[in-house]
Amino acid sequence: MNSQEIFTLSDAHVAPTYRRYPVALVRGRGMKLWDADGREYLDFLAGIAVCNLGHCHSLVTHAIAEQAKRLLHVSNLYYIEPQASLAAELCCKSFAQKVFFCNSGAEANEAAIKLARRYGHEVRGVAEGEIITMQRSFHGRTMATLSATGQEKIQLGYQPLLTGFTYVPFDDPQAVVRAITSKTCAVMVEPVQGEGGVVVPRPGYLQELRRICDDHGLLLILDEVQTGLGRTGRLFAHQHSGMTPDIMTLAKALGAGFPIGAMLATDKVANIFGPGSHASTFGGNPLACSAALASLKAIDTDDILANCQRQGVYLTGRLETLRERHACIKEIRGLGLMVGVDLGVPVGDIIQRCLERGILVGPAGEQTLRLTPPLIVTEADIETLMTVLDEVLP
C-alpha cells in the first residue's frame, strides 16, 4: 500500500483516539525512518522516548527472531527463563530486589498504585490508602493511572475518577508535607516531568521527597517510564540524585520498541504481593523479556549512556545558540536527551513544518517542542535538526 491507501484504510477502521500526522512509516534503521512512499525522515522523537537504541537495533531484532523460533508465550503459572534472567539483570542494575512484569507503562504504574495501597493497608493499617501525586504529571490512561495524573485534560469525560489521589505542585517538597494525612500511603512522582512539558526539578528535590517519605512512613514511587533506560544520561534518572525509591516503574525503552513494562521494588515492599494478588497474562513473556535483555546488553556495550551525555550537552548548547536568532524560544529545559523547547505558542504548526522537511519532533503539552532522539544521535544529526528549526521557527 502507498501512504494514501494506508491513511484511507486507517481512517475507515481504526478508532479515532489519535490526532495523526499525515505520514505512514513502514521501515526504520538507526536514526532514520522511511514512509510507504519511500521518503526518508530523521527521527528526533524515537516513538516518544521508546527507541533509545535507534530503530531495529541488530542485537534486539536478533534476540526477538531467535526467541520466536523457540517459544512465544507460556503462562505465568510456569517458570520462564528469559523473565528470570531479565528480573535478575534489572535488580543487579538498580536498588530493587523484585520485579513484576506487564506490558506498558500504565500497567506498571497501576501495579505500583495497587502495591502501595496494599502495603499501606497491611503494614500501616490504612484502610483507604491515599497517594500524593504532582500537578502536570502523567502516569497513564487506565482509570487508576489517569486518576493519578495531575492534568484535567487527560481526565476530561471519564468522571467519576478513582478516589484517593491528592495533587500538589511539582518541585515543591513543602506542598507534599502539607498534603499528608493519616490516610496517605505513598508519594508518586516523575524524576523529570515529560508530558507536563519536560520539567526538571531543582537539585535536591528527590532527596527531600525521600526524607519526607521516611519521616512519615510513606512509600516513594518513581515513575521512570520515560526517564529510565538511559534517557537522561544515567540508566535511571534518580541516579543523578544519589537516592533510591521504594518502587520504580519502567516501560517505553525497556524493550527497545517491543512492548514490555516492569515494576521494581524492594523485598520489603514487593513481598506484600502474594500469589493471586496481582497478575498479567502476557507480562514477562519470553519474547518481550528476550527483547529487553538484548536492549540492556546494547546499552552496556554501545557507549549509549556516554553518547547521551555528550549529545545532550551539544543539543542544548546548539538550541541556546538558536535562541539568539529566534525570540520565540522562551526556555530550553531538559536532562540528557530529554529536552523541551518552550515556544510560548502552540507548537502544532512547527511540528508539521519540520515533518514537511523530513524531521520528526513532537509536543510536550501545547507550547513545548519535545526532542527525544534515539540515544545514538550524532552531532551531524543535530546540525540537520538545527538547520530545519532555523528555517521553520518565526
Catalytic residues: 138, 223, 252
Among 221, 217, 222, residue whose Cα is nearest residue 235: 222
* Helix 379-392, helix 304-323: angle, nearest 10: 30
Residue 136 CB: number of other CB atoms within 10 A? 17
Distances (CA, A) of 99 to 35, 83, 137, 237, 387: 37, 10, 24, 18, 44
Residue 338 to residues 96, 194, 235, 371, Cα–Cα distance (Å): 24, 8, 13, 6
Phi, psi of 383 (to 5 degrees): -65, -35
CA distance 344 to 351: 14
Let me know how long the chain is.
394
Are the beta carbons of 150 and 135 closer than 8 angstroms? yes
Among 372, 298, 385, 378, which residue's Cα sits nearest to residue 335? 372
Beta carbons within 8 Å of 300's beta carbon, 6+ residues apart: none
